[in-house]
Every structure is written in structure tokens, then in C-alpha cells.
Amino acid sequence: MSNENSVKVIGAGLAGCEAAWQLAKRGVKVKLYDMKPHKMSPAHKSADFAELVCSNSLRADGIYNAVGLLKEEMRLLGSLIMECADATRVPAGGALAVDRDGFAKMVTQKIKACPNIEVISEEVTQINPDAYTIVAAGPLASDSLAQTILKLTGDDSLHFYDAAAPIVAYDSIDMTKAFKAARYGKGGDDYINCPMTKEEYIAFRTELIKAEGAPVHEGVENPKVFEGCMPIEVMAARGEDTMRFGPLKPVGLTSPHDGSRPYAVVQLRQDNAAASMYNIVGFQTHLKFGEQKRVFGMIPGLQNAEFVRYGVMHRNTYINSPRCLTDNYNMKQFPKVYFAGQITGVEGYIESAASGLWSGVCAACSVLGKTAPQISAKTAIGALAKYISNPAVTDFQPMNVNFGIFEDLGVRIKDKKQKAEKYAERALMEINAL
């Protein structure tokens, strides 16, 4: 295969396979590199492509939630990943779950059978900034490739560990129990405060200590790296009042509901410009997602909270995308180099595949001398692309797709189902017009 007008795709995970497919079906020649089976990351077990390592669930499938809408947009744009997922799905209620082995085998077969894709089984350690390349190495890029990416993106643009607090949707917080205020009245209503009585605090701490942590993958995660960013459950176990002298300190706050001074306070800080998302301050955690929902749901005001992102503390190689990338997923400094997948800061299998789809579409257009189609944050695919490339983001953290990162509807709709329907209707209208 000639190098002329060909694209090198690094990594045959969901993002890399989707990117390669989008390029190939537009007539662009692709060299797809993957280090398997000669070298395996600590998390991979199979030689097949698009391996689902953590779960066989691709999450909710209805279009009236953000990830379901994302999947429908991908279907409409001819996604390989969605074609294979739909063909290998297994019963899972309202979620899209697949036969993991069958799914990976089908993706692998389709990629290898495609005449425009040449599969090369070797590790890539160098990137030519002047050659069309899509880096889809995933969150466990090899050390050699990670060092190359570090040089390409800048010394402070590559993160090896992700320690992020949970984020909840603002409209799911019970403000009859929580209140807005800053300590001692300084700074305006900067925080949402969830006050606790002594009894509530003791019960919360008890369940927090007992809660089940997420498994640590040997060779992938190193708990010692988190000593400077202590998980909330570890803090709770160190003493009854440790959290009250840390992120749950109640000083300087009085509840406007009854004039009382809380025994402890959990604070939430605005996380986006639209004020539709708030993160739970100081709640970095290694608990399982189900345990986070159960235990953090004990916090007054968060009983029915919708978590748009759960807290995570794990190995997750990702770049500072707002500094490095455009909303077409290519580098600002080296426009022929694109990134896709979790390394861009999108979180989740489907989000990774979606970034691969859009980077593949945009790279194909560039190779063929065409203008890439415009997509807005009114769509799920566009919202992710705008999120990872927004230069106004100063504390960039990986994110799942959620309606909080979409362009605002411009009208206030209290009913959550109706609001979701409006998001979906608007998004699919734009996708169908592409």
C-alpha cells in the first residue's frame, strides 16, 4: 500500500477501528497498527480488536438519554461499532449489552476483510507530525508511545492518572434540603451546600467505610500515586472527625432553611458555564459506581441525584485536549495528526467510538481535499467534540456524554422527559441533515 494519501491509525480498539472504517469507506487507504498479539497491555486478554475489557454493557439504549442518543447518531452516520454491537446484542433490559467475544470477533473480521485497510501487528513508538495519523492508543498506551505523545503535545499536556470527583446534574439536587452559600458570606452563592446532622454524618461515614471499592488491575493501577489526593473513603476510615476537618468542614455556614449550624457540610461546586453540572468537592473515590450512587445518595439533597460522571481514580493516559486539539480531533500545532478515544478525554466505550468516527470523517475529508462537515454541540457527537476542545476549560477531566455539555435548549423545561425529547429531536434533525 502506498503511503500517498494513506492514513496511519495507531490502535485497534473501538476508536481506532471506527476511525479506520470511516476512512476506508470514503476511499482512503488505511494502515491500522496494533501491538497485539505480540505485545499485550495489562488489561487485554484477547488478540481480537475492539476488546471490551471492563463490561459487556454499552449502557442505556433509548434516545431520550445522552448516551442512547449518541448511539443513534452513530447508527445514522454508518458506525461499524454500532453495526457490530446491534448484531451481537444480548438481552439486558433497557441497556445495550453484547456478547463480548462475538462483538470483538465481528469487528476484527470486518476490519481484516476491508480492502482499504492493511492491518500491521507491531508496536508504534514514533509519530511523524507531517504524515496523516490518528492516535487511538487508548488509556493504556505503551510507555514508548506515551513518551512520544508527551514530546508531541508538550511536557505538561499528558496525564497518566485520573482522579476526579463525581458530578451530578443540577436539576436533580433537592434544594429544599441543600442551599447556596459561601462560607462566612464571602464570594456570593458560590457553592451548593448539603448540611448534615450528627446522626446523618455518623450513618454516612459508617456506610462509606463499609462500601465496596473498585478492583485494582495489577500492572495498570498504582494506589501509591493517590497519596496526595486521598479517596474520601480512606479519609473517612482515618478517624470520625477527619472529613469534618477536611472537605466536610461546617464552619462559616448556616442553613437558611431553619437557621441551624450543620454538624458537617458536603459542598458542590459549579462545573460548567451553563451551571447544569456540579461536582462534589473533595470526593475523589475508588468506590464502585453502584456504591457511589448508594452511599452518596445518603447525603441530604442528593437522594435522587443524577450522576453525570462517577468519581474515578485509575490509570488513564489522556492529553490536555483543550490545549492541543480542535473540535475535529486534530492537533492545532500539527493538523495532520489526529487523536481519538479515551486518550482525548472522552470517557466510556461508546464515547471513544464516537470520537473515532468523527476523527475518521474529518481526516478523510482533509486527505481528499474536502472541507470537513460542521457539527454543533446540539448533537451528542458535536457536544463531545466541543467539550474536549474548549480552550476555556482550565481543569480538564475526562467526561462521559451527558446533556450538561450540550448547547442549551434556550427554553426552560422542567419535565425531564420532555427536556430529553427536545434534545433528541434537535440533535437527530442536525445529524440527518449532514
Ranges in the chain annotated CATH 3.50.50.60: 6-162+314-433
Ranges in the chain annotated CATH 2.40.30: 167-310
Alpha-carbon distance 227 to 206, whole Å? 22
**pLDDT value of position 224:** 44
Beta bridge pairs of residue 180: 192
Element holding 159 (H helix, E strand):
strand 158-164
- Residue 231 in 3-state DSSP? coil
Alpha-carbon distance 232 to 344, whole Å? 27
Q: Which three cell numbers stand for residue 325?
A: 486539539
**pLDDT value of position 225:** 41
Alpha-carbon distance 232 to 283, whole Å? 5
**Given a cut of 70, is residue 1 above it in pLDDT?**
no
Beta-carbon count within 10 A of 404 CB: 25
Task: Identify the weakest region by mean pLDDT among 13-17, 274-278, 333-337, 363-367.
Answer: 274-278
pLDDT tier, 277 (very low <50, low <70, confident <90, very high otherwise): confident
**Given a cut of 90, is residue 23 above it in pLDDT?**
yes
**pLDDT value of position 220:** 42
**Given a cut of 50, is residue 112 above it in pLDDT?**
yes
Mean pLDDT, residues 229-246: 90
Alpha-carbon distance 405 to 414, whole Å? 18
**pLDDT value of position 40:** 64
pLDDT digits (tens, 9 = 90+) for 58-109: 888 889 999 999 999 999 999 999 999 999 988 666 778 888 888 999 999 9
More confident residue, 163 or 416: 416
Query: What is the CATH topology of the domain spanning 6-162+314-433?
Result: FAD/NAD(P)-binding domain (3.50.50)
- At 219, the amino acid letter reads G
**Given a cut of 50, is residue 264 above it in pLDDT?**
yes
Task: Identify the weakest region by mean pLDDT among 105-114, 142-151, 258-267.
Answer: 142-151
Query: What is the CATH topology of the domain spanning 167-310?
Result: Elongation Factor Tu (Ef-tu); domain 3 (2.40.30)
pTM of the model: 0.75
Residue 260, Cα to own-chain centre: how many angstroms? 39
Average pLDDT, the chain: 88
